[in-house]
Amino acid sequence: MSKKEPIPLTSTEMGLLWTTYINDTMSICILKHFLSNTEDSKVKGLIEVTLGYSNQHVETLRKLLKEENFPIPQGFSEEDVNIRAKRLFSDYFYLYYIKNMAKVGLAVHSQAYSMSTRADVRIFFGDCLQQVMLMDQKATELLQSKGLFIRPPHIPIPERTEFVESRRFLSGGFFGFRDKRPLTTIEISHLFSNVQTNALGKALLIGFSQVVQSEEIRKYLQRGADISAKHVKVFSDFLLDDNLPTPMTWESEITTSTEVPFSDKLILFHMSLLVAAGTGNYGVAAAASPRKDIALAYVRLAAEIAVYAEDGAVMMIKHGYLEEPPEAPDREALAQR
């Protein structure tokens, strides 16, 4: 009986595995620094579990990519982290950082699992998905046990089922309607979540701006912090207009340290991931927001961070930080050789 030929990786699987490798090597550097200075034993335990998952992913990916004769990405290494540097954020911030990592991981790994076709790749991303679910659960339980979990707003339960009877439902002050209908629960959830992620991103940007070595990148980070603050205000104003509470900010969880824990390359790359996640969040939120003033706000703000992302990519190329992902062959160039 003839031996079956191995199934080659699809272009989608190549891209997903390559991206996961880069991201996990970055996470290892971040988590190693967190682990070196955390004081709370339970927070330390969660960081150890999360770091173990990332190390496991990288080990599995190296083996899989070697079997495919696929060049191992450079990613990030011990050169990109100084675990002896003073802490930049509090243990409380570490908890919410891991909670947010899990939130991003749930979206990324579920999509990767559904887009993959080869059995071993699907098993890998399925395992990743199970792990980030456990991370999210552990982080949530720990935040709740410490009284630190920030809950979305409560509203009264509807008295009956109703149907939309007017275009005012879509208006947001448009279509000739001067008044705006109250926010739906779905709109509230996205606004609240995007305030949280921007507040977390702002704190990271401020903290990183204290320790980054390049003055050019420092100014870029400070600009990003200003953008995040602006977006927090836009989303918060929608909530406040309906007398709903907004999440807290994180500036108080940043230390005064100016010691360098991470390389400029890692910091700039980390910011590119935050921008990419934010862009995805805004797209989903815009599609889920029937009120046109809210949807248009997401579109407008997404365009603003797209420009910021492009400027960051140009800076990464300039400094030689941007590792090139796998590409399709340039047939036109090959034909001219």
- Tens of pLDDT, residue by residue over 218-239, are 999 999 999 999 999 999 999 9
Q: Could you say which DSSP state residue 323 is in?
A: P
Task: Calculate the CA 49 to chain-centre distance.
Answer: 19
**The one-letter amino acid at 26:** M
Half-sphere exposure of residue 139, counting CA atoms within 13 Å on the CB side?
24
For range 235-253, the mean pLDDT: 91
pLDDT (tens digit per residue) in 23-80? 999 999 999 999 999 999 999 999 999 999 999 999 999 999 999 999 999 999 999 9
What is the rounded CA–CA span in Å between residue 251 and residue 59?
36
What domains sit in the chain, N to C, each tagged with a CATH number? 11-145 (1.20.1260.10), 179-318 (1.20.1260.10)
What is the rounded CA–CA span in Å between residue 76 and residue 27?
9
Q: Could you say which DSSP state residue 85 is in?
A: S
Taking each helix axis from N to C end, the angle separating 119-145 and 11-37, rounded to the nearest 10 degrees, works out to 30
Q: How many angstroms separate the most distant Cα atoms in the chain?
A: 76
pLDDT (tens digit per residue) in 137-195? 999 999 999 888 888 888 889 889 888 877 777 876 555 445 788 999 999 999 999 99
User: How much is the pLDDT for 1?
Assistant: 37
**Could you tell me the pTM of the whole model?**
0.92
Task: Calculate the CA 336 to chain-centre distance.
Answer: 41
Q: Which residue has the tokens 């590119």?
A: 272
